A and B are shown apart, each in its own frame.
Chain A
Amino acid sequence: MQQPAVGSGTGLDGARERWVPTGGIELCVAELGDPARPTVMLVHGYPDSKEVWSEVARGLADRFHVVLYDVRGCGRSTAPQPLRGGFTLEKLTDDFLAVADAVSPDRPVHVVGHDWGSVQAWEFATVRRTEGRIASFTSLSGPSLDHFGHWIKKRMARPTPRRAAQLLNQSAKSWYVYLLHTPVLPELAWKGPLGTRWPKILQRVEKVPGGDYPTASLPTDAAHGAWLYRDNVLPRLRRPRTDAYAHCPVQLITPTGDAFLSQRLYDDLEQWAPQLVRRTLPAKHWVPRTRPDQLVSWIGEFVTAKEEGDPAKRVVASGPHADRFGGQLVLVTGAAGGIGRATAFAFAEAGARIIAVDRDAEGAARTAEMSRLIGAPAAWAEVADVSDEAAMEKLADKVDAEYGTVDVLVNNAGIGLSGAFLQTSAEDWKKVLDVNLWGVIHGCRIFGKRMADRGQGGHIVNIASAAAFQPSRVLPAYSTSKAAVLMLSECLRAELAGQGIGVSAICPGLVNTGITTTARFTGVSADEEKRRQAKAARMYGLRNYPPEKVADAILRAVVRNQAVVPVTPEARGAHLMSRFAPRALRALARFEPRL
């Protein structure tokens, strides 16, 4: 038997370790943070040990009492003898209660489970004997076997085409479950080639960064853990409990790219968990390693809300896509009006934190203020000219230091310029390219770099224009700048795809914003320019396509990670024509609208 020790060679620096006896075995428990604070217990999955949580634990430790333990048979905990029948959910519940009693005897704990940790925690959260011991439960990529059993039964009993497809889809994703039921072979594989190659496989397939994980105990962890499946899956799926109702609030975090679990598994979850908060995360299965910051933010927010005990307090904002953007940091340039402002508001309604950037300090401040009123937990206004590289660098440093790394960047700032090519001076060209193109380049380069360096994904939205694929004799400079933005976005999308960073180019079309009143018209007198601005504004006003709809399209583009999004019907028409009838579009380009 191993002796208790302070500190360890694991990835949990500064953790206090102890052993908790339960049912003849010893569990290795690690604690971080102040024990007087609310206890957050992190339960790992298969084939992991508690070190899978090291990043998340570090992030939570300054606010909470963080407790991790190696599940029986994993990491430095001892394994039951014999293995068969030693891993039932009942015994795992005993373990949980033993640890909870040891680390937080007087107060209920907040449980967070990933993969098998979540499967276990669903058991904890739904059986009677743990009632009052759990304050909240955050579930990551691990359904309740009982709910799963009912899910299958429902689909088998009345297999509509859609339900049959869902069933087939999940059965295909569960291939490893069947394999793990074969005797001896999985153990041999894990102790042999699979065990040595596993870290590489994780890095390649799941984009899990290297470092302190997985630990050296992986082959034995995985071999022992196979009994989790053998002891529980078939009995539970055959005869799921009918009383598996959660007795605590549940936060469900669903990674959208999970290779092992279908998102549809949680369709009916409200009926089992009355106080359910849903979150979605564009990531693969191992989110505790790949998206620790986002998890820290959501777990922290949920636990704090439950601790404050205000049932009326909404954890999730009311707007569309709040499950996806809640608590994220969104930076919008050109946020003092038009599409930028509407986009900031749409993200604010989804519960994101907003940084409104504009040259117009008053307008940006107003956007930030209104954002806070409609759901943003925090919003700030920053003054910067996107075409000024030094100013953007300074802004990025400030954002990094004060608010954190940007999750979504919206490069929206832009200016209009109209006039024939031969009447457009070099000065005019420079101005429009500085803002429309260089502004986007600076944004992508400076903020995109920080996003990539963090290695936890993100999204960049560049506002191009329908003019990017629709040639016109009256907008040569503007169209050129926007076409460049479109191509820049497509190239960047290819480059950043491997790092989980999406890039979308939005091509709005004629939208009723202030761009018309500030647009320059070359080769005409000041009076004539003013008249044309007014006329253009009136025309856009008559078209009256609201910027709010563009903002909705932007949020949708981020959620779906769309590459190019034409928004208004005319933009969609032009986009279609640019592909199938480019000659017609060229003919249209010769038309000179009377302004």
Chain B
Amino acid sequence: MASVTSATSPRAGELPAGLRGFREVQRLAYACAEAVAAQLRPGITERAAARMQREWLRERGVRDWFHLPFAWFGDRTAFVNFRVPLQFFPTHRELEPGMPFILDMAPIHRGYTADIGYSGCLGLNPVHDRLLADLEAHRELILREVRERRPLREIYEDVDRLMARQGYANRHRAYPFGVIAHKVDRVRQRRWSPTLFGFGTQSLKGLASDALHGHRDGWSPLWSPYTFSDHPPQPGLWAVEPHLGFRGTGAKFEEILVVTDSKDPQESAFWLDDDLPHVRRWQEEKTA
């Protein structure tokens, strides 16, 4: 695997079997995003794009979801005027040349969960390019401060401040509970896996049980700006999704951050995979 940033995991080459499963499904999800993004044309609706993701993943064995695939086009990438969670669901908005888009999906494959976000643009859009480039600083900041074991809420505030300095609006504030990240875990495979409001019931169950345990021990599976996130990072897998908004254009990435209880700062936290589209993009920009 390519080692590109300081964010590279020290154990990248020798991930334990459990983490390898997560990495495989995350790669599968990003492959899906890239495949669907390549097929997007003017006139395609968000619903069609979401369906393309669903079908692509179903063909490759995905039967359960943390949440069903989303697609946002145009100013919906910046969550303009989002008030209620129902607005997250794909609409009949059509893609136009120069429009930014975000594909967001969380498939479960062989019991492993991924939750990814892929930002792209149909043609040229300098604002979108700029947003994507500026996300790199957030990826580095989050990893650095998690390794320093700073309380999650403080890290959140630092991300917020960085966004303000860059001139952007924090759009993950529009997410449920304003979360920037949430825990993911293995999910038991069932023959019947229904979804509830777009979320897989098995994963919701896992999240609820985490919340229950966490509540007793003083931590939360949701990484939010509120007091319940006023604790150091909890070991486990976190799907982190900083989301920038700038006047009708939005961009985000979402990927899994592994937090361990190791004393070695390098091993205490690392990104599960560094061979991802957005990371490759930054690397290419640097070499160019």
Contact = CB atoms under 8 A, between A and B. Distances in A.
Interface string A321-346: 00000000000000001000100010
B174 to A, nearest CB: 11
Given A345-B247, A349-B247, A548-B247, A373 B166 contact: no
A349 B167 CA distance: 15
Contacts, number: 25
B48 interface: no
B169 A373 contact: no
Contacts of B246: 370, 374
Contacts of B165: 337, 363, 366
A551 to B, nearest CB: 10
Contact of B130 (A349, A373, A514): A373
Given A370-B130, A374-B127, A514 B164 contact: yes
B16 interface: no
Contact of A366 (B126, B127, B167, B169): B167
A539 to B, nearest CB: 13
A367 interface: yes
B61 to A, nearest CB: 42
A11 interface: no
Contacts of B225: 541
Interface in B137-180: 164-167, 169
Contacts of B247: 345, 349, 374, 548
B interface secondary structure, majority: helix
B81 to A, nearest CB: 12
Nearest to B128: A373
A416 interface: no
Interface in B238-263: 246-247
Contacts of B166: 366
B167 A341 contact: yes
Contacts of B126: 373
A546 interface: yes
Contacts of B169: 546, 548
Nearest to A341: B167
A367 B247 CA distance: 13
A154 B126 CA distance: 45
Interface in A363-387: 363, 366-367, 370, 373-374
Contacts of B167: 341, 345, 366-367, 370
Nearest to B166: A366
A341 B246 CA distance: 12
Interface residues of A, number: 14
A373 B246 CA distance: 11
Contact of B164 (A337, A345, A367): A337
Given A345-B247, A546-B169, A548-B247, A373 B164 contact: no
B49 to A, nearest CB: 24
B18 to A, nearest CB: 38
Contacts of A374: 127, 246-247
B248 to A, nearest CB: 9
A459 B164 CA distance: 28
Nearest to B168: A370
A381 to B, nearest CB: 12
Nearest to B126: A373
A510 to B, nearest CB: 17
A366 B168 CA distance: 11
Contacts of A548: 169, 247
Nearest to A349: B247
A315 to B, nearest CB: 18
Interface string A532-557: 00000000010000101000000000
A232 B127 CA distance: 52
Contacts of A345: 167, 247
Interface in B199-214: none
A520 B246 CA distance: 30
Interface string A292-330: 000000000000000000000000000000000000000
Q: Which of B127, B165, B247 gathers most chain A CB within 10 Å? A: B247
Contacts of A514: 164
Q: Which of A337, A345, A370, A373 gathers most chain B CB within 10 Å? A: A373
A366 B246 CA distance: 13
Contacts of A541: 225
Interface in B175-227: 225
Nearest to A338: B164
Interface in B17-73: none
A372 B20 CA distance: 44
Contacts of A367: 167
Nearest to A534: B157
Interface in A129-171: none
Nearest to A362: B165
A576 B143 CA distance: 50
A462 to B, nearest CB: 23
A575 to B, nearest CB: 27
A337 B162 CA distance: 12
A11 B102 CA distance: 60
A337 to B, nearest CB: 7
A366 B225 CA distance: 26
Q: Which of B165, B167, B169 gathers most chain A CB within 10 Å? A: B167
Q: Which of A345, A366, A374, A514 gathers most chain B CB within 10 Å? A: A374
Contacts of B127: 373-374
A374 B131 CA distance: 12
Interface of A: 337, 341, 345, 349, 363, 366-367, 370, 373-374, 514, 541, 546, 548
Sort A-B residue pairs by CB-CB distance and give the 4 closest, nearest first: A373-B127, A370-B167, A373-B126, A366-B167
5 contacts: A337-B164, A341-B167, A349-B247, A363-B165, A370-B130
Interface of B: 126-127, 130, 164-167, 169, 225, 246-247
